[in-house]
């Protein structure tokens, strides 16, 4: 039996890799759900991936990113939401030991076989959409966002409110009220992002984040801190959210916010 060697996808012009983030604000919500519907959706999007299971439950993740990048001739700001299924390549499960969801969320899997199979990626930056499609085979398409998030330049809060908007109205959104919840630092990167090309080839693109994430594990007493709203059930992304998550409560929330690099302080009058 022969094994096909690893190969490198071409880097489409005019992009350069790696892509360096100047700043990143990231929040993700994990849901532990029935594996049957997850397998069906994953087989449609990524036939060479299998859904990971944690004590008999599959994991669906909804995450929002706000990031900044500086280029030689300017800069760009991007917002996007990913709908992901946690999975691994078929035939590789023998390389992965048994893991609970808490193990996964805390970064115990350092094989990085467990990654995110992207089902929908909605984004407000045309350049980022083009790069995601051409470099990482992301199912990425346009959307708009209305966001309120923790900020040193705003009221003291640990609440994230994210709305993903269509042409005129909200498609879906979520609120995560993390105020007062205990968080623990976790090393979960590099995050392996899986994509499937139009020719059916599976590729993996790792993303490093140079600081721990903050993990908020939820239970029956705190799961109501997270609300997922599916406002437009006719939209394809909302149909998949309903199929994959439905009314399932959230199991965990993870966050990352880039540290400030400078501060412009309060002025004073000279006597």
Which among 9, 4, 11, 31 has a CA at the least distance from the CA of 249?
31
Strand partners, 255: 27, 214
**The pair of three-digit structure tokens given for residue 14, joined into one six-digit string:** 């005019």
- Taking only Cα atoms into account, the Rg of the chain, rounded to an integer number of angstroms, comes to 19
Q: Classify 228 as helix, strand or coil.
A: strand
Query: CA–CA separation, 234 vs 223, rounded Å?
Result: 27
Domains along the sequence of the chain with CATH: 23-140+184-218+236-257 (2.40.400.10)
The confidence band for 1, taking pLDDT boundaries of 50, 70 and 90, is: very low
Answer with the residue of higher pLDDT: 73 or 167: 73
Query: CA–CA separation, 15 vs 135, rounded Å?
Result: 8
This prediction's pTM: 0.95
- The pLDDT tens digits of the residues spanning 26-59 come to 999 999 999 999 999 999 999 999 999 999 999 9
Instruction: Tell me the percentage of the chain whose pLDDT exceeds 70.
Output: 99
């Amino acid at each position: 039996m022969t094994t096909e060697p690893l190969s490198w996808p071409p880097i489409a012009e005019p992009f350069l890799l790696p892509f360096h983030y100047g700043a990143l604000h990231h929040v993700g919500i994990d849901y532990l759900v029935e594996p049957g519907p997850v397998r069906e959706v994953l087989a449609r999007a990524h036939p060479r991936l299998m859904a990971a299971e944690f004590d008999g439950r599959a994991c669906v993740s909804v995450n929002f990113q706000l990031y900044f990048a500086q280029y030689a001739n300017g800069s760009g700001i991007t917002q996007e939401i990913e709908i992901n299924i946690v999975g691994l390549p078929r035939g590789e499960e023998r390389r992965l030991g048994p893991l609970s969801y808490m193990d996964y969320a805390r970064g115990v899997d350092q094989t990085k076989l467990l990654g995110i199979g992207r089902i929908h990626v909605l984004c407000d930056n045309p350049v980022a959409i083009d790069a995601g499609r051409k470099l990482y085979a992301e199912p990425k398409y346009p959307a708009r966002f209305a966001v309120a998030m923790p900020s040193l330049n705003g009221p003291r809060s640990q609440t994230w409110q994210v709305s993903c908007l269509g042409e005129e109205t909200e498609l879906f959104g979520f609120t995560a009220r993390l105020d007062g919840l205990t968080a623990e630092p976790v090393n979960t990167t590099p995050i392996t992002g899986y994509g499937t090309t139009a020719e059916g080839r599976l590729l993996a693109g790792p993303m490093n984040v140079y600081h721990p994430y903050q993990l908020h594990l939820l239970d029956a007493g705190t799961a109501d801190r997270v609300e997922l709203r599916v406002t437009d059930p006719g939209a394809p992304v909302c149909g998949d959210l309903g199929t994959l998550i439905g009314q399932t409560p959230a199991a965990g929330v993870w966050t990352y916010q880039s540290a400030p690099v400078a501060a412009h302080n309060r002025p004073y009058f000279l006597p």
